[in-house]
Structure 1
Amino acid sequence: MNLQANKSKLKVSIIVSDLSSAGAGRWGGGSVRSFLLAQALKKLNYQVEILGFVFGEAAIFPESEIPINQFIGHNYPKFLVSATELLKKIDGDIIYAMRPKPTTLGLSLWKKLRTSQPVILDIDDWELSWYGGEKWQYHPSFKQLYRDIFKPDGALRNPDHPLYLKFLEGIAPKADAITIHTKFLQERFGGIYIPNGKDTDLFNPINYDAEESRAFYGLSGYRVLMFPGAPRPYKGVEDVLMALDILNEPDLRLVIVGGSPYDDYDAQLTEKWGRWIIKLPKSPPPEMPKIVAAAHIIVVPQRNTPAALAQFPLKLTDGMAMAKPILATKVGDIPEIVGETAYLVEPACPEEMATQIKLIFADLEAASDRGRHARIRCIEKYSISAMAVTLQSVITNL
């Protein structure tokens, strides 16, 4: 089949493990990897559909030209019923599985066995890193194994148990192609490097006034450092707050947008550093540029952990596309992504971070100039259009 010649007629089915409000459905899906890939495929004139399970609270998705099919997620054995329903609905010429998981790659390879549809695997996180990575082992006693399988809440009834994740990682090469978004993941799994793209037409600073945005969100009178994402310990938000303790300047604030859907980490931060924190609620993707416009500085303070190394921080391209000064750490791909357009510090170093915050505010015009260069770099390398170019070559090579 000539994919290039027939691309306008081809359909791609994107399979997502969890479309809930704590999974790929957070932020209304707009800035999550699976939805970015869907946007890039639409730009290439492919038909696209997204199919996935909902484990937990269902997400609210804005109206879109991309159909989203959701199936209630369950533990085994009831999960097999939902899996069967999803398999019946997959009708794409190409299957695009998000992450090497039983709920995505496992089902996609099963479908391929029956229909010969080519499978692309995208890996945007190292799932086993949440369980200790290479150190994780499963050596249960016979009694524990029995409990894990047969008890209603047995661990092995969870479709995402690390035992299954480890197995799926091992068969990742069975996919016809692999795409990844960090060099860390490329070293581990191979594949084609497709960094996350940003809709640079939507995220365009020319459409927004920073002072008006600050007034709208109640931030007037503050010098705003913004973290537009879900705080987790490896993301280094504590280091920014410790830097604000060091500076101790009353008009500085860290604005956290959306908060964490995973646990009570937000509350822990507020309990200790509440005087520096302003929270803004989770907002739909079209509203995010107006929110980011209110920032003086976007902070991306990742710590040097396997979880951080495996991820492409979308906050970077939020700031780059909106021509904002960016303060980030020298972790993973961050230095390569931003080039010379950001202020970089060592991870977990609040003192160095405090120095850079002071430097940025001492010459905001110079910092803004870096931000303007960051937008140019984002358009060239980290836009949806740039993402689409590489994605087209992957599909053509199938």
Structure 2
Amino acid sequence: MKVSIVVGDLSSSGAGRWGGAVRPFLLAQALRKIDCDVEIVGFVGASDQPLSLSEDIPIISIVKENYYPQFFSSAQQLLRNINGEIIYAYKLKASSFGLSILKKIQTRRPLILDIDDWELSWYGGDEWAYKPSLKQLGRDIFKADGALRQPDYPLYLKLMERFIAQANCITLHTQFLQQRFGGIYLPNGKDTTLFDPERYDAEASRLHYGLSGYRILMFPGAPRPYKGLEDVLLALEQLNQKDLKLVIVGGSPYDDYDQELMQKWGQWIIQLPKTPASMMPEVVAAAHIIVVPQRDVPAAQAQFPLKLTDGMAMAKPIISTPVGDIPEILGETGYLVDSNSPQQIAETIEYIFDHWQEATEKGQQARQKCLKSYSLEAMASTLSQILNFLSGPT
């Protein structure tokens, strides 16, 4: 069975930002484990480098025109390149789900929708409304870069939610999204063979990356305000212990927020360059503690922090917050503190280093939980059931 995963944004600031470590690529790897033939079809920017995966999964990149009506030409190219017997749309957007609905109508092939984010949460959620003046409406329609000429403008995101019933099946990775949209819970899986602490020497990794002599708190993701790194830095400032450092890996592909953090708290930060997905386990091995201190806002509630399972798979002590599905994902295998609480983070950092044996045991428990519930094999098992249902007698 061939599955086409349709991605609205494969650019270096979109799903292509980690070179194979984000949701559509995890879906592809899990599908390969159940012997599916998989292709990824999506849009890129004109300046983006072609993506490739070591798993030999074909990636078909279509250069995207950013505004209507030029976008229609890009859309036609993408539609022509969707060859799968199953269409798997990634994200509730016109540039992925909307086009996938058109392909379903053309071909009568089954359509799965994967929702990994509440897209409207970035614009105020249910409070967002389009109420332009007549003059503004004209600008939005007729200006070359007018808002209504943007394929994934919030008005169209809101419209897409009304077409969810067009999907034969919906997969989601958090309970927040499941409660909102229905569907089948399919949490992110980690390649636990690659992310295996037995394969790496922590001190050797620290030496390789220039981290020897420090106690390392690591955030191996893209810094954004809702991810709570400011709370960690305030905690380090409060502790004022020079050997404690927050290591940020790769920086932000979206903006210069990581540079803002460096300017204000540079003495507590070590920034490592962008690292290929295949090298991330070696980087994570260098950490003493993984920090994922999400703040309690809609954007975070809808997410499954991929970097949480980086730490779990590598058996690291983890400090996080009870936001969204994090309490269920971690269970008793990590340390939860209140959101926006530098004081609690500081206390927990001290506790972990003072009770290192306990923290190490929790890390081992976290890996076992990851193997059972948050591995690619666990993803593959659920996807197998979904495809068997879709391909069965109607």
**Same fold by TM (over 0.5)?**
yes
User: 22, 25, 31: which is aligned to 2:16?
Assistant: 25
Residue 249 (structure 1) aligns with: 241
Q: Deviations over 1:326-349 (max 9, x none)?
A: 011111100100111001111110
Residue 310 (structure 1) aligns with: 302
CA–CA separation in structure 2 for the residues paired with 1:62 and 1:223: 35
Q: Deviations over 1:362-389 (max 9, x none)?
A: 1212111110111011000000000111
Say if 1:210 and 1:295, in contact at 8 Å, map to a contact too. yes
Q: Deviations over 1:104-124 (max 9, x none)?
A: 111111111111011000000
CA–CA separation in structure 2 for the residues paired with 1:130 and 1:36: 24
Residue 4 (structure 2) aligns with: 13
Residue 39 (structure 1) aligns with: 29
Say if 1:25 and 1:59, in contact at 8 Å, map to a contact too. no
TM-score (norm 2): 0.97
Shift of 1:56: 6.1
Structure 1 residue identity aligned to 2:8: S
| Residue 283 in structure 1 maps to residue 275 in structure 2 | yes
Structure 1 residue identity aligned to 2:25: F
User: 67, 77, 92: which is aligned to 2:58?
Assistant: 67
| Residue 329 in structure 1 maps to residue 324 in structure 2 | no
Shift of 1:60: 4.9
Residue 338 (structure 1) aligns with: 330
| Residue 175 in structure 1 maps to residue 167 in structure 2 | yes
Say if 1:296 and 1:325, in contact at 8 Å, map to a contact too. yes
Q: Deviations over 1:218-237 (max 9, x none)?
A: 00000000000001010001
Shift of 1:297: 0.2
CA–CA separation in structure 1 for the residues paired with 2:203 and 2:116: 35
Structure 2 residue identity aligned to 1:50: I
Say if 1:21 and 1:60, in contact at 8 Å, map to a contact too. no
TM-score (norm 1): 0.96
CA–CA separation in structure 1 for the residues paired with 2:272 and 2:202: 16
Structure 2 residue identity aligned to 1:380: K
SS in 1 for 2:222: coil
| Residue 376 in structure 1 maps to residue 368 in structure 2 | yes
5+ residue gaps, structure 1: 1-9
CA–CA separation in structure 2 for the residues paired with 1:55 and 1:144: 28
Q: Deviations over 1:72-104 (max 9, x none)?
A: 111111110010011011110000000111111
RMSD: 0.9
Say if 1:21 and 1:57, in contact at 8 Å, map to a contact too. no
Structure 1 residue identity aligned to 2:42: G
Structure 2 residue identity aligned to 1:46: C
SS in 2 for 1:254: strand
Shift of 1:195: 0.3
Say if 2:291 and 2:319, in contact at 8 Å, map to a contact too. yes
CA–CA separation in structure 2 for the residues paired with 1:177 and 1:62: 28
Say if 1:26 and 1:59, in contact at 8 Å, map to a contact too. no
User: 208, 228, 239: which is aligned to 1:216?
Assistant: 208
| Residue 111 in structure 1 maps to residue 100 in structure 2 | no
Say if 1:22 and 1:57, in contact at 8 Å, map to a contact too. no
CA–CA separation in structure 2 for the residues paired with 1:180 and 1:397: 17
Say if 2:50 and 2:61, in contact at 8 Å, map to a contact too. no
Runs of 4+ in 1 over 4 A off after TM superposition: none
Distance 1:55 1:161, change over 3 A: farther
